[in-house]
């Protein structure tokens, strides 16, 4: 604001200064013209007195005059009179003054820094970081109390100063009337005295002839001061002294002065640097001269100029400042560009100043400066002040003499004869009394004249008294114009009177302003009064009142005045005790709007920029759009296209809430401005704000694009940009790759192992540089977001990259088209030439790069053409601009160290900075006859084709899968001879079959197979290709057997193929290829099997080669639903595989060899199992072998020991064994925690019992299903596995679903319960059999005692020594035994203590004694058994067995 430059008292005092006229002769003007100055311009820098002056008031009191300034002007006799409004010439002057005064860029005084607020008050304040919530109130309060708290507005100071100085003299006040006249004559004149006489007469004629209304003179007897101007470079100094002595004799020493100038020649002026104090006054003087000279002839021209300047601004700027342009388009900016934006040459061109070209005061020395300064001081102290003092005394004497009766009679006479106005009239009445004129000798005017004289010489106390007296007289006369002037000056005098007890009467000023504006309709005087009062109020800290006063003064008659006052009101709001920041911004917008209407576009732009600092990023979206839009237009009009582009960019970058039509207008304006900028600068591409690029969503794909399916071939899915990223799947793929890498590196994963990532996104690990391969494309997917409600058209998209070849320096950013085919080829993957991005939508664009050299690649941006996608216009007619956007991806936040946690740090994200490596092998995989649906356990044969499409050979082909039991490639030792081509294998069985003749009671076919024959028992499978190397361009096909999962449902099965380069030491150690299939498994058969021991004694089974008497019962049920189209299942073969047991023969009572099952049918098959011979189980190398036994139920035998039956069997065994190993490990870990010896003994007993009941017999049920599909009958094959582990426990082929049980949280460890071995399991340690004749005949008449031999067979079923006690004294009390005859007695030894070795069979011969015929139960012996070294004997539950009945007949 303006008061920071000078104090308010000084400003008000300088607004009313003594006026001095100047009349010069031609010779005097010629002498001053040597310095490019006229006489008034020569004096102007020295018009402020540096010393104090003194006068005496009418009471003879000495008054000090401090810092007095006088105003010296040439006498201009223009006919203009005082009016209620400024003339066109004066308006033009003020407009030029404001236009020529622009803010200094980067000035420190133009910045307010308060807390987090940083309000820049300069011409380029487009940016501001001002968080809304901060300690800005206290900070602004602290700053506002300092001396440098406001931002300067020099244009307002210049406007105010010029406005006050160019105000026309008025008849109701005398402050602007001339008090004295300087008569200047050169010493070179022939007769200077005659020239003085002529000038004196000329002044008298001007003042008293009545021909001229201007200039106006203060008193009739104007002071004439005679100045003899002596040119030191031309005239004779002695003659000048003589003339001056004559003047002192003629005019008195107090009324003349000899002024010597031009002490040096102009030729030597350039050698010495003299200060130039005139430059700051010359521009103002030149403008005032223009006002004086062209006032009458340029009115129409000025009006047309102002209208032209206003018309150059768009309609949206002339309308309401908060209203946006609804239909603005490119035509509006055409209008703006065609407007006259150059500042008037006369306002800024130094050539047009009064002095013309060259410096000022070239012939003056510093001594000449002192002479001029001394002349002003002498004139003022010895001429002007005494003259004013004398007139004050005269006026005071006249007023004193007129007091009393004369004054009363004068006032009464006017009242009686109607000369005065009633004092009861209100100020607000619209009377025409403002035109009332007093005669020059009227006492009221004499009082006013005396008050003005006192005010000019700083006698404010006497001035206030006179103004107050005159105010009463004027109000009583209803002379409102005079009264308002007296009120105004009374208030100013009261303010300037330092020692007065009274406060500043602001209501005087308010009444004066209201009277000037509403009653007298004089806006010029009202504006002057407002300017004075506002500055006084601001100096007293009353910013709210000052702002209200300034806002009230705005009107439609002057846009420039309204703009300046609104700007000052805004500064009042920001400088209040509690700063009103939003009010400041709002009034700055209003000021900018009025500046724009006044043609002051630079000031309009500045106001909008300052307001933007408050509204920016505060949620005022619509206001922010309006401000940015106006800034853009004004900047474009002022030839600042860069700022215009930046402003329009802000509108389009933020999420706008404008309507679609308004957004379209914004976009067209931006495109037009942007294109005009690009027309001037075509070297570099600037940044485009649209569309928004979601950088973190950028995805990069490395690798060859897979080929689609060719006929029946199904390509591997691998990785593509169409797949969504899943964290769990990524962890699964990483686990599979670790298994493959460990398999290729002798079971260990290298320390520098890095997971292969073909597709990088925001969720992958991007801390390392990704590796790309030469001649393999890279696809970059960019996510665009259109924040507007109008569609955008993007075309010619390409990536901007920087490439550093190996062992070379980094290159600059390169456009792809400049290096096509050299290093990297940029290919656009979009099929359309114009890519449409619809409103408020996300869309992806995929761009492809093809590297041709090794090195470091950095993708830095994207280049594209932007246009508005209009449905009615073709692409050629759209306004298209080309630009770029940078791709900068912020990495993840670091959270490792303490500094990282305290600060916000982000790690690198290098997904766009790949390293280009040399050629690597590239493999493609295709599948033939690969099913999508299988029955549970179904065997299907497919083919897989491996193609090497690179120029490098590959080796080390492996595959890992999440379901290794789903497939097999077979083994070279067990793979049957099968057709190699898929076409010849359509009707062939997947099994190896042999034709056999089925005979009743035939035993199983036995084959002994080593586990080494099936080498692929691990989770990683080595793919058997010829030579283990696939040359470039070669392909090979291998058979692949598949088996449907045992559990129904949809199964996701993942394959990961691994291969390496033949060359070692490359940056990429290996490559992988992913494949995912979904298999729908349907129900087929349910197989349940159980084993039990036969009661036949071992010695009765010698014909079966030592069969131990184990029976296996298999229950098969068709659980298939009719939806799959299966008509019936045929059980074609039952096989077994085990290291210790085997199926011997089928003992099915029904003898039905062809077992057919339709829907929901069940069949039961019974087989006898036997142990394998000891020499069959172990090879010479110590590796245990498996015995495969096949019992076919038809006429074809399927070799179960070959591929694929054997492979899937071993897969199933591996799964079962892993599950059992997990259970055993958990048991071992739990048992290892216990240290009690009794618990160890119990666990040993458990192991003994378990081994006693172990069976370890694996059943393979092979079936065929007949399916009708498309009126064709198909035969499906499959196999189901059942693992019989324990005798007496049923096993099933169905996979039970694991029930999740809730585990209670325990806070205290509990003692494990003692292990109690159930008697049912202990009874299996010993198997007992009684052998006796079923019928025995004895002659009881001859011999009363009948002795029958009975053999008790004891079989040790456990692998440990067992102690046995046989007690024959027990009498049975079971209900079964009570039903038969009376008891009998055992004779002989009644108790036996024995010990049996592992699996030993012992026979005891007993004798039973009967006394009469009948039916007896011999199952009465009690058998106790315990493992050796155990403390407790356990009785076997033989009494619960079936009774052993014997019939005793009497002979």
Least confident of 100-104, 937-941, 1067-1071, 1104-1108: 1104-1108
**If phi over 0 gives left and psi between -120 and 50 gives alpha, with beta otherwise, what is residue 1033?**
left
pLDDT at position 23, please? 95
Distance CA 289, CA 284 (A): 9
pLDDT at position 312, please? 38
How many other C-beta atoms are found inside a 10 Å radius of the C-beta of residue 619?
8
pLDDT at 966 over 70: yes
Distance CA 633, CA 1307 (A): 75
Which range scores top for mean pLDDT: 228-242, 1001-1015, 1171-1185, 1287-1301? 228-242
Helix (H, G, I), strand (E, B) or coil at 1113: strand
Give the tokens for residue 227: 């100045």
Give the contacts of 1244 (CB within 8 A, at least 6 positions apart).
Answer: 1427
pLDDT at position 945, please? 92
Give the tokens for residue 439: 């005669």
pLDDT at position 1211, please? 79
pLDDT at position 589, please? 93
- Mean pLDDT, the chain, rounded, equals 78
Q: Between 92 and 619, where is the model more confident?
A: 92
pLDDT at 6 over 70: no
pLDDT at position 112, please? 54
Confidence of residue 174 (pLDDT cuts 50, 70, 90): very high
Specify the DSSP element, H or E, that contains 1292: strand 1291-1292
Q: Between 997 and 1125, where is the model more confident?
A: 1125
pLDDT at position 1192, please? 85
pLDDT at 137 over 50: no
Give residue-wise pLDDT tens across range 83-95. Answer: 677 888 888 888 8
Helix (H, G, I), strand (E, B) or coil at 806: coil
pLDDT at position 1221, please? 58
Give the contacts of 565 (CB within 8 A, at least 6 positions apart).
Answer: 530, 550, 551, 553, 554
Confidence of residue 436 (pLDDT cuts 50, 70, 90): confident
pLDDT at position 1095, please? 63
Question: Among residues 451, 452, 443, which one has the least CA distance to residue 473?
Answer: 443
Q: Between 1216 and 369, where is the model more confident?
A: 369
pLDDT at position 290, please? 52
Confidence of residue 1025 (pLDDT cuts 50, 70, 90): confident
Burial 655-673 (b: 16+ CB within 10 A, else e): ebebeeebbbbbbbbbbbb
pLDDT over 90 for what percent of the chain?
Answer: 30
Q: Between 125 and 774, where is the model more confident?
A: 774
Give residue-wise pLDDT tens across range 1379-1390. Answer: 555 678 888 888
Q: Between 7 and 817, where is the model more confident?
A: 7
pLDDT at 1062 over 80: yes
Sign of torsion over alpha carbons 1030, 1032, 1034, 1039: positive
pLDDT at position 724, please? 85
Largest pairwise CA distance in the chain:
205
Question: Among residues 628, 784, 569, 815, which one has the least CA distance to residue 692?
Answer: 784
pLDDT at position 461, please? 92
Question: Among residues 654, 673, 652, which one has the least CA distance to residue 664?
Answer: 652
Confidence of residue 417 (pLDDT cuts 50, 70, 90): very low
Confidence of residue 927 (pLDDT cuts 50, 70, 90): very high
Give residue-wise pLDDT tens across range 691-742. Answer: 888 888 999 998 877 777 677 788 888 888 888 888 889 999 999 999 999 9
Give residue-wise pLDDT tens across range 12-59. Answer: 998 999 999 999 999 999 999 988 899 999 999 999 998 999 999 998
> Across residues 128-136, what is the average pLDDT?
35
Distance CA 354, CA 92 (A): 18
pLDDT at 1296 over 80: no
Confidence of residue 494 (pLDDT cuts 50, 70, 90): very high
The answer to whether 577 touches 551, Cβ cutoff 8 Å, is: no
The answer to whether 1227 touches 1090, Cβ cutoff 8 Å, is: no
pLDDT at 679 over 70: no
Give residue-wise pLDDT tens across range 546-575. Answer: 999 999 999 998 999 999 999 999 999 998
DSSP string over 78-124 = ------SS--HHHHHHHHHHHHH--PPTT-GGGEEEETTEEEE-STT
Which residues, listed in sequence order, are joined to residue 1276 by a DSSP beta bridge? Answer: 1265
Q: Between 145 and 1064, where is the model more confident?
A: 1064
pLDDT over 70 for what percent of the chain?
Answer: 73
Distance CA 859, CA 852 (A): 15
Distance CA 733, CA 755 (A): 9
pLDDT at 598 over 70: yes
Distance CA 805, CA 1103 (A): 85
Question: Among residues 1328, 867, 1282, 939, which one has the least CA distance to residue 1087?
Answer: 1282
The answer to whether 484 touches 446, Cβ cutoff 8 Å, is: no
Question: Among residues 41, 43, 64, 40, which one has the least CA distance to residue 54?
Answer: 64
Give residue-wise pLDDT tens across range 788-831. Answer: 888 888 888 899 999 988 875 455 555 543 333 345 665 544 33
Least confident of 406-415, 481-490, 562-571: 406-415
Q: Between 467 and 1374, where is the model more confident?
A: 467
pLDDT at 127 over 70: no
Distance CA 1322, CA 984 (A): 59
pLDDT at position 120, please? 58
Question: Among residues 755, 713, 708, 751, which one has the least CA distance to residue 731?
Answer: 755
pLDDT at position 439, please? 87
């Amino acid at each position: 604001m303006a008061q920071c430059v000078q104090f308010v008292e000084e400003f008000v005092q300088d607004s009313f200064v003594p006026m001095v006229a100047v009349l010069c002769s031609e010779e005097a003007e010629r002498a001053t013209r040597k310095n490019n100055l006229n006489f008034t311009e020569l004096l102007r820098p020295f018009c402020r007195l540096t010393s104090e002056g003194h006068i005496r008031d009418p009471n003879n009191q000495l008054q000090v005059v401090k810092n007095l300034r006088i105003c010296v002007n040439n006498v201009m006799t223009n006919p203009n009179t005082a009016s209620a409004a400024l003339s066109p010439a004066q308006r033009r002057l003020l407009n030029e003054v404001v236009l020529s005064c622009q803010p200094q860029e980067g000035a420190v005084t133009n910045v307010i820094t308060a807390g987090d607020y940083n309000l820049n008050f300069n011409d380029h304040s487009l940016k501001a970081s001002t968080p809304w919530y901060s300690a800005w109130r206290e900070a602004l309060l602290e700053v506002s109390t300092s001396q440098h708290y406001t931002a300067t507005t020099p244009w307002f100071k210049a406007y105010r100063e010029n406005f006050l100085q160019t105000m026309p003299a008025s008849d109701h006040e005398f402050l602007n009337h001339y008090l004295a006249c300087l008569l200047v004559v050169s010493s070179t004149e022939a007769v200077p005295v005659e020239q003085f006489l002529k000038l004196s007469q000329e002044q008298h004629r001007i003042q008293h002839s009545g021909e001229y209304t201007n200039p106006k003179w203060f008193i009739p007897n104007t002071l004439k001061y005679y100045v003899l101007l002596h040119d030191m470079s031309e005239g004779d100094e002695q003659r000048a002294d003589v003339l001056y002595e004559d003047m002192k004799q003629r005019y008195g020493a107090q009324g003349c002065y000899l002024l010597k100038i031009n002490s040096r020649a102009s030729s030597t002026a350039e050698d010495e640097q003299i200060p130039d104090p005139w430059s700051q006054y010359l521009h103002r003087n030149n403008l005032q001269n223009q006002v004086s000279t062209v006032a009458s002839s340029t009115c129409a021209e000025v009006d047309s100029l102002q209208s032209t300047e206003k018309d150059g601004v768009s309609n949206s700027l002339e309308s309401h400042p908060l209203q946006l342009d609804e239909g603005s388009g490119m035509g509006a900016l055409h209008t703006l560009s065609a407007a006259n934006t150059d500042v008037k040459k006369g306002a800024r061109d130094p050539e047009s100043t009064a002095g013309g070209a060259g410096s000022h005061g070239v012939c003056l020395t510093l001594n000449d400066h002192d002479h001029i300064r001394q002349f002003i001081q002498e004139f003022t102290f010895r001429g002007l002040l005494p003259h004013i003092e004398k007139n004050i005394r005269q006026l005071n004497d006249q007023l004193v003499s007129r007091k009393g009766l004369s004054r009363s009679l004068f006032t009464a006479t006017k009242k009686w004869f109607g000369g005065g106005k009633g004092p009861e009239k209100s100020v607000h009445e619209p009377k025409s009394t403002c035109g009332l004129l007093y005669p020059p000798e009227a006492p009221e005017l004499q009082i006013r004249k005396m008050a003005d004289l006192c005010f000019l010489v700083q006698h404010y106390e006497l001035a206030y008294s006179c103004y107050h007296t005159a105010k009463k007289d004027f109000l009583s006369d209803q002379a409102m114009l005079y009264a308002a002037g007296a009120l105004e000056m009374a208030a100013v005098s009261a303010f300037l009177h330092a020692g007065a007890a009274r406060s500043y009467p602001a209501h005087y000023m308010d009444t004066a302003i209201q009277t000037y504006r509403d009653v007298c309709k004089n806006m010029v005087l009202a504006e002057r009064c407002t300017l004075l009062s506002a500055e006084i109020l601001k100096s007293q800290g009353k910013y709210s009142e000052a702002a209200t006063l300034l806002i009230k003064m705005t009107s439609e008659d002057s846009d420039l005045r309204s703009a300046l006052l609104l700007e000052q009101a805004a500064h009042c709001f920001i400088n209040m005790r509690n700063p009103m920041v939003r009010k400041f911004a709002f009034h700055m917008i209003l000021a900018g709007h009025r500046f724009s209407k006044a043609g002051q576009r630079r000031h309009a732009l500045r106001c909008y920029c300052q307001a933007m600092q408050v509204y920016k990023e505060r949620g005022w979206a619509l206001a922010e759009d309006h401000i940015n839009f106006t800034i853009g237009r004004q900047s474009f009009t002022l030839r600042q296209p860069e700022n215009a582009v930046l402003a329009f960019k802000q509108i389009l970058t933020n999420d706008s809430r404008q309507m679609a039509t308004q957004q379209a207008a914004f976009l067209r304006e931006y495109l037009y401005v942007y294109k005009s900028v690009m027309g001037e600068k075509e070297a570099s591409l600037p940044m485009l704000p649209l569309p928004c690029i979601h950088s973190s969503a950028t995805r990069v794909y490395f690798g060859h694009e897979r080929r689609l399916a060719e006929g029946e071939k199904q390509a591997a899915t691998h990785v593509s940009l169409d797949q969504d990223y899943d964290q769990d799947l990524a962890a699964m793929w990483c686990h599979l790759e670790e298994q493959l890498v460990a398999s290729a590196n002798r079971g260990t994963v290298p320390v520098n192992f890095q997971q292969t990532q073909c597709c990088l996104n925001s969720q992958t690990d991007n801390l390392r540089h990704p590796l790309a391969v030469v001649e393999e494309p890279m696809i970059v997917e960019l996510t665009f977001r259109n924040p507007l409600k109008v569609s955008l058209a993007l075309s010619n998209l390409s990536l901007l990259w920087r490439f550093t070849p190996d062992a070379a320096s980094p290159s600059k950013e390169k456009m792809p088209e400049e290096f096509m085919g050299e290093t990297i080829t940029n290919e656009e993957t979009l099929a359309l030439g114009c890519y449409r991005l619809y409103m408020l939508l996300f869309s992806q664009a995929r761009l492809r790069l093809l590297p041709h050299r090794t090195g470091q690649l950095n993708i830095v941006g994207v280049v594209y053409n932007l246009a508005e996608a209009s449905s009615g216009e073709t692409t050629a007619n759209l306004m298209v601009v080309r630009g770029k956007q940078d791709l900068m991806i912020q990495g993840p936040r670091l959270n490792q160290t303490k500094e990282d946690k305290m600060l916000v740090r982000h790690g690198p994200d290098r997904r766009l900075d790949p390293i280009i490596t040399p050629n690597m092998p590239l493999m493609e995989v295709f599948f033939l006859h690969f099913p999508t649906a299988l029955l549970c356990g179904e065997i299907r044969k497919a083919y897989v084709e491996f193609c090497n499409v690179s120029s490098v050979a590959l080796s080390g082909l492996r595959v890992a899968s999440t379901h290794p039991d789903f497939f097999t490639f077979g083994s070279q030792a067990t793979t049957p001879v099968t057709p190699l081509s898929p076409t010849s294998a359509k009707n062939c069985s997947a099994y190896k079959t042999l034709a056999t003749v089925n005979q009743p009671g035939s035993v199983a076919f036995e084959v002994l197979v080593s586990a080494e024959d099936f080498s692929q028992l691990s989770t990683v499978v080595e793919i058997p290709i010829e030579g283990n190397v696939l040359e470039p361009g070669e392909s090979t096909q291998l058979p692949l057997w598949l088996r449907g999962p045992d559990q129904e449902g949809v199964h996701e099965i993942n394959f990961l193929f691994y291969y390496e380069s033949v060359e070692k030491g490359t940056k990429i150690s290996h490559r992988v290829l992913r494949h995912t299939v979904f298999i729908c498994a349907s129900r087929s058969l349910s197989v349940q099997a159980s084993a039990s021991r036969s009661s036949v004694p071992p010695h009765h089974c010698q014909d079966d080669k030592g069969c131990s008497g184990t029976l296996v019962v298999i229950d098969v049920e068709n659980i298939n639903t009719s939806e799959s189209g299966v008509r019936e299942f045929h059980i074609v073969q039952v096989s077994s595989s085990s290291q210790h047991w085997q199926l011997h023969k089928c003992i099915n009572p029904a003898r039905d060899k062809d077992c057919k099952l339709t829907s929901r049918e069940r069949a039961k098959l019974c087989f006898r199992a036997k142990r394998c011979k000891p020499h069959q189980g172990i090879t010479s190398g110590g590796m245990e072998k498996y015995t495969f036994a096949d019992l076919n139920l038809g006429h074809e035998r399927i070799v179960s020991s070959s591929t694929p039956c054997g492979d899937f069997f071993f897969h199933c065994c591996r799964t079962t064994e892993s599950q059992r190993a997990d259970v055993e490990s958990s048991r071992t870990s739990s048992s290892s925690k216990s240290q009690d010896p009794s618990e160890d003994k119990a666990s040993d007993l458990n192991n003994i019992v378990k081994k006693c009941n172990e069976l370890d017999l694996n059943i393979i049920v092979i079936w065929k299903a007949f399916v009708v599909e498309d009126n064709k009958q198909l035969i499906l094959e499959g196999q189901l596995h059942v693992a019989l582990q324990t005798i007496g426990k049923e096993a099933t082929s169905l996979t039970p679903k694991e029930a999740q049980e809730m585990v209670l949280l325990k806070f205290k460890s509990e003692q494990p319960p003692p292990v109690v071995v159930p008697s049912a399991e202990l009874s299996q340690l010993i198997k007992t059999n009684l052998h006796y004749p079923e019928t025995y005949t004895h002659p009881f008449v001859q011999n009363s005692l009948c002795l029958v031999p009975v053999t008790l067979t004891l079989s040790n079923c456990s692998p440990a020594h067992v102690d046995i006690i046989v007690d024959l004294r027990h009498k049975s009390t079971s209900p079964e035994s009570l039903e038969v005859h009376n008891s009998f007695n055992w004779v002989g030894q009644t108790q036996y203590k024995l010990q049996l070795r592992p699996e030993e069979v012992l026979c005891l011969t007993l004798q039973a004694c009967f006394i009469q015929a009948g039916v007896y139960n011999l199952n009465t012996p009690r058998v106790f058994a315990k493992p050796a070294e155990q403390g407790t004997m356990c009785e076997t539950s033989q009494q619960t067995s079936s009774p052993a009945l014997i019939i005793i007949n009497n002979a």
